[in-house]
Amino acid sequence: MADEIKQEPPAKLKVTIDNVTVEVEPGTTILQAARMVGGDVAPPAMCFYTPLKGSGGKCRTCLVEVSKGSEKDPRPMPKLVASCRTGGMDGMEVKNITSDRVIGARNGVGEFLLINHPLDCPVCDQAGECDLQDLSYNNGTSASRYEFKKRIFKKHDLGEYIQLHMTRCILCYRCVFTADQVTGKRQHGVLDRGDHSEIATYIEKSLNNDFIGNVIDVCPVGALTDKTFRFKSRVWFTKPVDAHRHCDKCCGKVTLWNRGNEVFRVTTRKDQWGEVQSFDGKTGWICNECRFDKKDVNDWVIEGLTTIPRHSVKGANKYKVLDVPKETIGEVMQRKPKLLMDIHSVSDVNSPLIDLSKIEGPATSDVFNKAKALEDKLVEEKKET
């Protein structure tokens, strides 16, 4: 068909989203056009992920209303369309936050996604950077109307690096696309269908592809989390810094999540939409070695603090510029200031005897009891001498 008409498309298409007009390349989806406008106009996306081919169209959170199809065919589209899978047309008019239908539909989608979600955010490691949390805060009610039992699954072990919580999964298929496109050999996918569908490895195979760790970063919820970071800290207590190292397998450009000088977690660098950044035209996926094994600051070259959006909890209680007043005691009194109390001599938290970042997997009572025994021994030795 397209060959018969053979008409040169205009170089740029004019798409109007929420009364803001942008000029986009042909083939750009409504979602991408809306992201060019930015701010509240960009619809939320739970399953669409720009670097992954074929992603999108599953979660329905990015639904928008098309009030004018195009310049040539100005009829509105009868139903709400998924903006991540719908291409922009010249003269198209789209309503996102200006349409009550869209807001209503999105609230409904949010409620549906939360039906089977366990809402264990206080335990979940994704809390603070979870797309589903953001969605339900923006488009959700404070209480659930669902009064039946939530679905549960048999536990699957995905190896030593990745923790799977199937109950939290919203079936966005991002991890499946990642496993398919980024790693050489796909070992996990979605089994069964309907309410029973679950991510799993086929015949309980553990995942040992070099790039499989990226499924953690693409997961919009806490279904796939980093086992080496599990329960060690909350996301917003760690300080994100950009760092890089020379790596043969990947780009080596990452974000480190530190507490002091301990590297608690390594992730890919993400842009403002929560997607992996690209470097020199290549998506910045990182390999398992960089992600799970390089938990020492000396492995990395620190570039500087990651910029965190002002509204995000991840920026809470972090000070970019430490404005330390000049200490004048030494000048005036000819001595060092007297410390009334060194907090580390009293506090058990962040003990120098245990390096949480170096422990594989989550810390348990064993780790803390061992540290306690060590501390007691040190105190006794001090008393004897």
Q: Pick the binder of other proteins from 11, 332, 340, 379 (CB under 8 A).
A: 340
Q: How many residues bind other proteins (CB under 8 A)?
A: 33
Residue 122 binds other proteins (CB under 8 A): yes
Rounded Cα distance between 109 and 63, Å, is 9
Sign of torsion over alpha carbons 220, 226, 227, 231: negative
Residues 231-290 that bind other proteins (CB under 8 A): 231-234, 236-237
Sign of torsion over alpha carbons 44, 49, 54, 55: negative
User: Taking Cα atoms as reference points, which of 210, 214, 235 lies closest to residue 313?
Assistant: 235
The phi and psi torsions of 280 (rounded to 5 degrees) equal 50, 40
Residue 367 binds other proteins (CB under 8 A): yes
What is the per-residue binding string for other proteins in 197-226, x denoting contact by CB under 8 A?
------------------------------
- Using the minimum distance from each CB to other proteins, give the nearer residue, 165 or 186: 165
Residue 97 binds other proteins (CB under 8 A): no
Rounded Cα distance between 248 and 199, Å, is 30
What's the full length of the chain, in residues?
385
Stretch that binds other proteins, among 11-19, 74-82, 229-237, 304-312 (CB under 8 A): 229-237
Least Å from the CB of residue 236 to other proteins: 6
- Using the minimum distance from each CB to other proteins, give the nearer residue, 365 or 385: 365
Rounded Cα distance between 279 and 281, Å, is 5
Residues 294-323 that bind other proteins (CB under 8 A): 313, 316-317
Residue 329 binds other proteins (CB under 8 A): no
- Using the minimum distance from each CB to other proteins, give the nearer residue, 208 or 312: 312
Task: Tally helices (H) and strands (E) across the chain.
Answer: 10, 15
Is the CB of residue 163 less than 8 Å from the CB of residue 225? Answer: yes
Residue 350 binds other proteins (CB under 8 A): yes
Amino acid identity of residue 148, one-letter, is F
Residue 142 binds other proteins (CB under 8 A): no
